Amino acid sequence: MSDITPTAGRGYSPARDAGGGPAPANLADILERVLDKGIIIAGDIQVNLLDIELLTIRIRLLVVSVDKAQEMGIDWWRHDAGLTSSKRELENENEELRARIAELESSSGSQRSRARKRS
């Protein structure tokens, strides 16, 4: 029977630790398959696996908060083109809104001060 030997070949590295048979697969690799793939048939017990999104699992594996994770550079979701571009749009929009608010505040502020002067 033909077989691919993951440890063979030039230019790419083995996925498994060397020595003594196949090492147990990486937990993240298992979870992304057993939680996210496979045949979905509703059993008698209602289970909502959406409750544990992979991201949450990943973060929990690290036992750190999302903020801490970002600090540590775990920010792959930020590299997602869709997320990033919409984030940029939001940032631009925020900036514009902030500028507009500042403008309105300063003009209403001067109106108020004018009103105070009149009274």
State the residues that interact with other proteins by CB under 8 A: 1-6, 8-16, 24-49, 51-52, 54, 57-58, 60-62, 69, 72-74, 76, 79, 81
Say what angle helices 27-34 and 54-62 make with each other, to 10 degrees.
160
**Residue placing its CB nearer to other proteins in the complex, 53 or 103:** 53
For the stretch 53-58, contacts whose Cβ atoms lie closer than 8 Å and that sit 24 or more positions apart, written own/partner, are 57/28, 57/31, 58/28
Question: CB 30 → other proteins: shortest distance, Å?
Answer: 5
CB of 17: closest distance to other proteins in angstroms? 11
Largest distance between two CA atoms of the chain: 96
The smaller minimum CB distance to other proteins, of residues 80 and 103, is found at 80
Tokens standing for residue 114: 């004018």
